[in-house]
Structure 1
Amino acid sequence: MISIQLAESDLKILGCFPVMSQLRPHIEQGKFIEQVRYQMKEGYQIALLELDEQAVAVAGFRISTCLALGKFLYIDDLVVDELKRSQGYGKQLFQWLIEYARNHGCEHLSLDSGVQRFAAHRFYLTERMSITSHHFGIQL
């Protein structure tokens, strides 16, 4: 059975690690809960799609407000288990995020995607997202 929910308990957060680490391999399992809890103090949340109580897709996100967009939901992390891709789980979780954003008064949903993530770009374009800006960064 498929369910989508917020990961609020340490057990649910830890259950997201095997999937999240496929996107963020630099994060150590022993520090994952601590890092997520720290980010939660700043509004970060994790939504997970479970199949038979096993996380197969996860999304880290936050709601914020800015002059350019108004109130928006920003997706920090979105990943489907590499063994479960192309089965509709990413689409289901993405649609859940859109509804969550609407239900929380957001006017916009956005994310950044690495330039090398071609399969992710195809997915976002299929989901009717537009390329609206370039993201620039500098390591400090």
Structure 2
Amino acid sequence: MLASTERILELTTQNQFLEAFPVLNQLRTDLTEGSYLELLTQMKQNGYKLFALYREQSIIAVAGISLQVNFYNKKYVFVYDLITDAAHRSQGYGYRLLSYINEWAKSNGAKFVALESGIQRIDAHRFYEEKLNYDKWCYSFRKPL
């Protein structure tokens, strides 16, 4: 449940994207503002959406998602990015934002919400499994080219 001073919005303007960058950059530390905007433009063409939880006028948490379809998940939402500002962690903001994404997914006909999390992020895994009832069901692999 959102507090009265909180709201969740899909970000759609350049100013909103720039406002979200300092929070997102806490997760994606290799990005510069320029590379962020360049990649975001390309990602949006492939259906990427960026949502933010605001408390009063400040962005506290950000989630980047897209609606996807494949053989094993059918229609689903993939969460690429989920980050709460370091000064506001462990206060339920990530939970509220991801709960909102779950409802958004359901209302858009998705059967699942899926995400990946770095192997070393033990606290994040506990959050997904214990607080949000996500199942750990596969490993994800990649190969640099």
2:82 is equivalent to residue 78 of structure 1: yes
Count residues in correspondence: 140
> Could you tell me which residue of structure 2 aligns to residue 105 of structure 1?
109
2:129 is equivalent to residue 128 of structure 1: no
Partner secondary structure for residue 59 of structure 1: strand
| CA distance in 2: counterparts of 1:118 and 1:84, whole angstroms | 19
User: How many Å apart are 1:71 and its aligned residue?
Assistant: 0.1
Identity %: 31
> Could you tell me which residue of structure 1 aligns to residue 28 of structure 2?
24
How does the TM-score come out when normalised to structure 2? Answer: 0.94
> Could you tell me which residue of structure 2 aligns to residue 139 of structure 1?
144
> Could you tell me which residue of structure 1 aligns to residue 96 of structure 2?
92
> Could you tell me which residue of structure 1 aligns to residue 61 of structure 2?
57
5+ unaligned residues in a row in structure 1: which ranges? none
Contact 1:74 1:111 in 2 (8 A): yes
| CA distance in 2: counterparts of 1:3 and 1:85, whole angstroms | 17
Cα deviation code 1:81-106 (max 9, x no counterpart): 11100111001001000000001000
How does the TM-score come out when normalised to structure 1? Answer: 0.97
> Could you tell me which residue of structure 2 aligns to residue 6 of structure 1?
10
Instruction: Spell out the pairing of 1:37-48 with structure 2 (5 A cutoff).
Output: 37-48=41-52
* Higher mean C-alpha deviation, range 16-25 or range 32-41: 32-41
User: How many Å apart are 1:31 and its aligned residue?
Assistant: 3.0
User: How many Å apart are 1:122 and its aligned residue?
Assistant: 1.1
Runs of 4+ in 1 over 3 A off after TM superposition: none
